[in-house]
Structure 1
Amino acid sequence: MPAIATDSLALQRLYHWERQAPDRPTLTQPLGGGQLLELTWAQVADGVRRMAAHLQAQGWEPGSKIAILSKNCAWWLMSDLAIWMAGHVSVPLYPTLAPETIRQILEHSEAKALFVGKLDGWETMKAGVPMGLPCISYPLSPDEAKQRYEGWDAICARTPPLQGEPVRGAEELCTLIYTSGTTGLPKGVMHSFGAFAWAISTGIERFQLSGSDRMLSYLPLAHVVERMLVEHGWLHTGMRIYFAESLDSFAADLQRARPTVFFSVPRLWVKFQQGILQKLPQKKLDLLLSLPLIGGLIRRKVQKALGLDQCRIAAGGAAPMPLALLEWYAKLGLPINEGYGMTENLAVSHITIPGQNQRGTVGKPYAGVQTRIDPASGELQMRSPAVMLGYYKEPEQSREAFTADGWLRTGDKAAEDANGCLRITGRVKDLFKTSKGKYVAPAPIEDRLCMHPAVEACVVTGANLSQPLGVVMLSADAAERSGGSAAARAELDAQLSAHLDEINARLDPHEQLECLVAIKTPWTVDNGFITPTFKVKRNRIEEVYAAHYDEWVAGRKKVVWGD
């Protein structure tokens, strides 16, 4: 790893803002009922120091693992910093995990304690917390957790703040980020303090973030992008962070934050689009945008309605962004920069450059990132100072993650265009073979499928069938229409049939979809169909639907109606 400036490490950034801007508000936390808690840098540092002193007093061996199970909130960030200041390693858990997965991660990581925070499903989740594991609750924790465990405020009130400026070395283990993985058990990705410092320093060379920026934190902080962009972006620049209160209040949360930098995953960008088109149908929107003066007013009105009228950097990632979606937002005056990365490289690999039309690619690598494409498999391989130390307690899997000469295997197929920009063409392992012996790459077809307003998510599948098929999860509005009158379903059937014809007309014969299967039941984290960052779990699709494939195809209908 190259030399890392010590003042760029996470704790040193906290001390910097504690000294330089103690009275500046930095975190805005909704408390419910319209109440907001504004925390200054001095208040943040004081809470971190008091909790760090409490953790140190437990006498655990330095480098012990301490877990965080909570939705995003001010105490999440303060817990992470307190764990580091006390000399330990943080283990974030997604706030939507099943109890079995919670137990597996807590036991695998050998966690010594757990912060139990803001959660919607605690009644179910608590069964996954091992008996006797010390836990600490937050002011926004479920009532049962607050009654069972000592609270943050009580601990801070009786614990004097840790003095001085304890530091952690760049080479020290900082955190275990358990992958949300679409297959198999989560793996604990090990990252050092130096890797985070290098990654955020490199990232803001491409995006000029500053202390005057504002972000809304709503995607799970357990995910690598939110951890990098929000937590480490906040520490590095001193920007203002607003937290979302709930799914129901999300629109109001965006209006309150008016973020200047906004990141979202493709599925949420699609939902925003669908919300706009429900109020302003595409034909009418196209007409209004084409009018010289009216077009500008409409763009500003739509951006303001989304809460993004002050957004100077919009970004997407965590899954491929359909080109048609990017073009649609660009016409609204909201160009989205598409990023590419993975937990194993702190999400710092590629991103498109603001102001340059690199749509359809993920741009060029960040400075200091080396990439190559394996000529045999088409797999993208890379190396950088942000690459993981390995998987915790999994030496064999760690070895398999790298080539013999030390390059990280991404598992993604890619190609470079004439300008050196990278296109991700699918997953190496997602390719499947039809009964005709032809390989199908599902990702490009899925990009087109999900651009119909009735489709919220989709999967192209069909290994060993004569032709692939598309399984689509209907949007809430479309699902409601499909269960209404016969005429409404017939209209939707015709729309989806036309969409299928349009897609098939652009595909090679062996790729053309036999049919679309319209599913009304939502795919959620709770029922196991998607990860916490809205990636569809292909193995779950196969597990639930594969037994019906032959039956669906035998019906010889373009659109098949599933449950």
Structure 2
Amino acid sequence: MKVDDRPTTLHSLFYWAQRSPDMVYMNQPYPDGSVEETTWKQAADQVLRMAAHLRSLELPEKSCIAILGKNSDHWIMADLAIWAAGHVSVPLYPTLNGDTAAYVLEHSEAKLMMLGKLDGTADGWNDIRNHIPEDLPIISLPMSPRRDTEQWKDIVARTEPLAEPHLPSPDELATLVYTSGSTGRPKGVMHSFGTMISVAEGLKEIFPVDQNDRMLSYLPLAHVAERAAVQTSSLYFGFPLYFANSLDTFQEDLQRARPTLFFSVPRLWMKFYLAICDKLPPKKQKVLFRIPLLNRVVKRKILKQLGLDHVRAALTGAAPLAPEIIHWYRNIGLELLEVYGMSENFGYSHANRPGDAKVGTVGVPNPGVEHRVTDEGELQVKSPGQMLGFYKNDEKTKEEITEDGFLKTGDMAEVDANGYTRITGRVKDLFKTAKGKYVVPVPIEGRFTHPKVEVVCVAGANQPQPCALITLSEEAQAELQKGGDRATIEKELAEELDRVNSEVEDHEKLAFAVIVKEPWTMENGMLTPTMKIKRNVIEDHYAERLPQWYDQKKKVIWED
């Protein structure tokens, strides 16, 4: 079998296995501290052996096969083996609750599950395990919580490689990506091999990427952002991938990977920023940054401490990040670029270009992408990465794609004369105050940049004025637990509230800020797997308390 081109990610695997067989493709750390390296040749060999086993099961043609687990080298090999056997992969978020996992397995009619890295601590395994159908066959990848199933390593050891793997055409169905579902049941987004590879093909026109690059994979591979920016790109361009071991070892994993390209979400960019500010307060930074000799040394040291000193292009997406934070990163020498995309177009939509970014926007349309803003202010996009439709839901497909082929994004946007696009909020997030004025919460939330504020949700539908629900940063919470003074935090947040209110319209001014007790996490359903707030869940959770808080007429309120 000779593969001369890369029309799909599966072709890409065999392409590099032939051209760079002994180059290390994946670096996988294990809980015991060991690290396993897998070359392109070894990866292709394991994929072909597992594909041969899957073929031997004689599943119906184009069967859906689920993948459940945190990111790992075998997660990617499982995805590729499913395709090489001629089937369709269905990734599940490791943080799903059991009920949603059961729904995805049933809706996709999954015939088998590849069960990967899970331990029940920072994932949903303890709940999911009780919702897996008893008759669903399971193959356990390394680091799987199940030992009573077929094991990947045993299968690979006893099975000969598949001589003639299925090499798909670009228009074939490759995967079902179930949306993270900030509202209602997740929808199964159907992507072809062609829509998936369009990301890499377009990327090469924006960023010069080659085999010398490196990336760290740690955001959920079940989401299109990681699958597009990291998995697809590494396969297409042939560069090495590193995986994170755990949250506790994240900094070590970054130092080991020394990524040249780095993709993250706003929540983590904020966490990095807050961690640095905790060690080097902003006032001190300003002083040091003004001293010519120290300026570069301090900035280099900050980037090295973050493990980002080799990064030449860093991306942020999935939600807005305050312009002040982006400027801070760019000021210390990290070219942080905002990008934009959706599950429905495999993340291939808009991006800021290196050396040509406009902070506060998601950049201009990617090569091959068309966009327009409707009279109602909604952004509509036509992309080479656009889905085939929603699985088993033609009605919803027709609802979300216009007759002339544009995807209704549900995002409100403004486009300037040069095509730079600014996302101003979600159409569904708009709410009216009791005075009949519309409030767009996202831009107001983005104005909170205080180091002690982790996440903000602006609420207040049908109230005289909006308000802010706030979770404190881990550092601020730790400070309080050690006996820190509430009054100091209260004073600082009251000043932050005044500053935010001075920058918004009268009807957008926040009546108060509530410091909530419970952190918002993926596990308690307050955040999506890409760490965006589930606004409706948060609003419902605090709805009964809101009238009491308005009655208090205080600027900063602590939830009892």
- Shorter-chain TM-score category? over 0.9
Amino acid in the other structure paired with 1:192: S
Q: 2:451 aligns with which of 426, 450, 453?
A: 453
Opposite residue 272 of structure 2, the aligned amino acid is: F
- 1:500 corresponds to which of 497, 515, 526: 497
Q: Note closer, same or farther for the CA distance 1:165–1:69 as it changes in structure 2 (3 Å cut).
A: closer
Deviation at 1:6, TM superposition (A): 5.9
Amino acid at match of 1:132: D
State whether structure 2 residue 380 is matched by structure 1 residue 381.
yes
Structure 2 length-normalised TM = 0.97
> Residue 135 of structure 1 corresponds to which residue in structure 2?
138
AA aligned opposite 1:134: P
Match of 1:511 among 505, 508, 512: 508
For 1:43, the equivalent position in structure 2 comes to: 42
Superposition CA RMSD, Å: 1.2
- Correspondence for 1:240: 240
Q: C-alpha distance in 1, partners of 2:504/2:13?
A: 53
1:181 offset after TM fit, Å? 2.0
Q: C-alpha separation between the residues in 2 aligned to 1:67 and 1:165? A: 20
SS in 2 for 1:80: helix
Tell me the equivalent position of 1:489. 486
Partner of 1:169: 169
Name the aligned partner's letter for residue 225 of structure 1: A
Instruction: Please state how far the C-alpha of 1:165 moved relative to its aligned partner.
Output: 4.7
Q: TM-score, normalised by structure 1?
A: 0.97
SS state at 2:446 partner: helix
Aligned length: 553
- For residues 81-230 of structure 1, the aligned pairs below 5 Å read 81-121=80-120, 122-142=125-145, 145-146=146-147, 148-230=148-230
Q: Cα deviations across residues 498-532 of structure 1 (Å, max 9, x unaligned)?
A: 00001101111100000000013211111110011
State the alpha-carbon separation in 2 of the partners of residues 254 and 26 from structure 1: 17
Structure 1 CA distance for aligned equivalents of residues 10 and 280 of structure 2? 48
1:140 CA drift (Å): 1.1
Is 2:535 the partner of 1:532? no
User: Partner amino acid for 1:546?
Assistant: A
Q: In the TM superposition, what are the counterparts of 1:473-488 in structure 2 within 5 Å?
A: 473-482=471-480, 485=483, 488=485
Question: Does residue 467 of structure 1 match 2:465?
Answer: yes
| Maintained 8 Å contact 1:66/1:88 | yes
Q: Is residue 2:548 matched to residue 1:559?
A: no
Q: State the match for 2:56 in structure 1.
A: 57
Does the 8 Å CA contact 1:358/1:421 hold for their aligned counterparts?
yes
Structure 2 Cα separation of the partners of residues 165 and 555 of structure 1: 67
Task: Map 1:21-40 to 2 at 5 A.
Answer: 21-40=20-39
Q: What's the counterpart of residue 77 of structure 1?
A: 76
Contact 2:51 2:85 in 1 (8 A): yes
Q: Report the AA paired with residue 62 of structure 1.
A: E
Percent identity over paired residues: 50
Q: 1:546 to 1:483 in 2, by over 3 A?
A: farther
Aligned AA (2:90): V
Answer yes or no: is the 8 Å Cα contact 2:5–2:15 preserved in 1. Answer: no
- CA–CA separation in structure 1 for the residues paired with 2:250 and 2:555: 37
Contact 1:479 1:520 in 2 (8 A): no
Deviations 1:55-102 (A, max 9, x none): 111111111000000100000000000000000000000111111111
Distance 1:397 1:366 in 2: 26
Show structure 1 runs of 5+ residues with no match. none
| Counterpart AA for 2:412 | K
Q: CA deviation at 1:164?
A: 3.2
Counterparts of 1:443 and 1:124, CA distance in 2: 32
1:332 maps to a residue whose letter is I
**One-letter identity of the residue aligned with 2:245:** E
Q: Secondary structure at the match of 1:202?
A: helix
Within the candidate set 523, 542, 546, 2:543 is matched to 546
What per-residue deviation string (whole Å, max 9, x for no partner) do you get for residues 355-407 of structure 1? 124111111001110000001x1000011221111110111111111123321
Structure 2 matches for 1:299-338, cutoff 5 A? 299-338=299-338
Aligned equivalents of 1:338, 1:128: Cα separation in 2: 38
> Whole-Å Cα distance in 2 between the matches of residues 436 and 484 of structure 1?
43
User: Please, which runs of 5 or more residues in structure 2 have no aligned partner?
Assistant: none
Cα distance in 1 between the residues matched to 2:399 and 2:379: 15
Separation (CA, whole Å) in 1 of partners of 2:245 and 2:18: 30
Tell me if structure 1 keeps the 8 A contact 2:337–2:357: no
